[in-house]
């Protein structure tokens, strides 16, 4: 009993418990890609993969921000509206003739500011994140129509350059600048979560907020920070979307927050917080993108099939997380 009792509590299955959902997503992704390649000859073209990134770069950036929020056990429903609002503000300011640099700075400040305010409301008044960000969602969407009832085209030189610039290899495959920006965001976010105090506090708060408080961690500051980060990511996402569409439209990105949440969850981040990786989110976004591509390649399927498949996957992954969690307990 003497010294052995101290090692009694050792886990038997500690191998990749926390990595299981991420691995599952990776496998899923490879399987879907394999199906695509085996069914359609053109699918093996590298550009298909690049296009997934080009079409979903803004989604990826927003999902990275959402990963921070969900890791603390929160939720941010405002992201889609903030994306749209950022695009609208940019388009509107450019239309009025402001220089691109000024527009960028203003557009990139609005999102984080809204996020900061929502974070403060959540922390100081102890209101459910769901309600606070729902209010933020309505507010930002309302602002879009307030700015303009219809879509505003963007003709600014900087924007068109960013939109059309191709960075490619000699074979003619290319990605857009947005993709590189998205990658940069992913890398900074992954580093922040893994190597900074803020990042580690995010995991601690998600794991057990009471304990985090008693361990002396700045729980309130961390909470406010994640909503601010999510706001910033939404703002960047909005800019990328306006690069992509070269316009600001009041009803763009409606329901995007749900796609984003789905991508984060399929990427293995647990909705109750404390467990997950940015890398998983990348895989989650890719999974969504590949499903879309598959359905486009098929041609005979209605695009709503994307939704149906995502719904099924989401359910399967939440189930998987539960099972892993139960086994762990």
Task: Give least dist CB 304 to other proteins, A.
Answer: 37
* Smallest gap from residue 326 Cβ to other proteins (A): 11
Shortest Å, Cβ 275 to other proteins: 6
Residue with smaller CB distance to other proteins, 5 or 150: 5
Nearest Cα residue to 24 out of 293, 321, 273: 321
Q: Which is nearer to other proteins, 166 or 197 (CB)?
A: 197
Closest approach of other proteins to the CB of residue 221, in Å? 11
Output the smallest distance, CB 73 to other proteins, in A. Answer: 11
Q: Which of 90, 108, 233, 66 is nearest to 148 (CA)?
A: 90
Nearer to other proteins, 14 or 41 (CB): 14
Tokens of 225: 């920070």
Q: How far is the CB of 120 from other proteins (least distance, A)?
A: 19
Minimum distance between the CB of residue 219 and other proteins, rounded to whole angstroms?
A: 10
| Minimum separation from the CB atom of position 116 to other proteins (A) | 21
Instruction: For 86-97, give the secondary structure using H, E and C.
Output: HHHHHHHHHHCC
C-alpha Rg value of the chain to the nearest Å: 21
Nearer of residues 115 and 274 to other proteins, judged by Cβ: 274
Cα diameter, the chain: 79
β-pair partners for 152: 248
Helix (H) or strand (E) holding 179: helix 177-195
Q: Are 237 and 83 in contact (CB under 8 A)?
A: yes
How many Å apart are CA 63 and CA 84, to the nearest integer?
A: 15
Q: Which is nearer to other proteins, 57 or 274 (CB)?
A: 274
Are 146 and 205 a contacting pair, CB within 8 Å?
A: no
CB of 18 to other proteins, least distance (A): 7
Q: How far is CA 153 from CA 31, 83, 143, 160, in A?
A: 40, 16, 18, 11
| Nearer to other proteins (CB atom), residue 41 or residue 329 | 329
Name residue, tokens 């408080």: 213
Interface ranges with other proteins (CB under 8 A) = 1-3, 5-11, 14, 17-18, 191, 194-197, 200-201, 203-204, 206-208, 210-218, 274-275, 328
Q: Which is nearer to other proteins, 133 or 201 (CB)?
A: 201
Closer to other proteins by CB, 202 or 262: give it.
202
Range 181-187, long-range pairs (CB < 8 A, 24+ positions): 181/57, 181/61, 181/236, 181/240, 182/53, 182/57, 182/58, 182/60, 182/61, 182/240, 185/60, 185/61, 185/64, 185/233, 185/236, 186/60, 186/64, 186/278, 186/282
The smaller minimum CB distance to other proteins, of residues 13 and 105, is found at: 13
Two structure tokens written together for 94: 């450019």
């Amino acid at each position: 009993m003497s010294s052995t009792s101290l090692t009694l509590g050792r886990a038997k299955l500690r191998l990749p418990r926390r990595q299981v959902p991420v691995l599952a997503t990776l496998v899923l992704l490879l399987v879907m890609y394999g199906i695509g390649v085996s069914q359609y000859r053109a699918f093996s073209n590298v550009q298909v993969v690049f296009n997934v990134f080009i079409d979903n770069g803004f989604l990826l950036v927003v999902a990275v921000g959402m990963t921070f929020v969900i890791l603390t056990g929160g939720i941010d429903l405002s992201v889609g509206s903030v994306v749209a609002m950022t695009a609208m503000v940019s388009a509107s300011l450019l239309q009025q003739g402001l220089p691109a640099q000024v527009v960028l700075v203003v557009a990139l400040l609005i999102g984080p500011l809204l996020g900061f305010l929502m974070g403060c409301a959540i922390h100081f008044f102890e209101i459910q994140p769901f309600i606070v960000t729902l209010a933020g969602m309505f507010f930002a969407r309302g602002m879009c129509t307030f700015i303009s009832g219809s879509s505003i085209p963007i003709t600014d030189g900087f924007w068109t350059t960013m939109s059309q610039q191709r960075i490619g290899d000699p074979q003619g495959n290319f990605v857009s600048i947005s993709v590189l920006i998205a990658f940069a965001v992913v890398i900074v976010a992954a580093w922040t979560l893994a190597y900074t105090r803020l990042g580690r506090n995010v995991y601690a708060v998600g794991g057990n907020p009471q304990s985090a408080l008693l361990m002396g961690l700045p729980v309130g500051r961390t909470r406010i920070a994640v909503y601010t980060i999510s706001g910033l990511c939404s703002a960047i996402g909005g800019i990328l979307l306006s690069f992509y569409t070269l316009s600001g439209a009041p009803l763009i990105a409606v329901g995007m927050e749900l796609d984003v949440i789905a991508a984060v969850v399929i990427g293995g981040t647990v909705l109750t917080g404390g467990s997950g990786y940015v890398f998983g989110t990348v895989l989650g976004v890719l999974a969504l993108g590949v499903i879309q591509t598959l359905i486009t390649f098929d041609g005979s399927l209605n695009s709503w099939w994307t939704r149906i498949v995502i719904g099924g996957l989401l359910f399967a992954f939440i189930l998987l997380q539960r099972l892993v969690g139960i086994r762990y307990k």
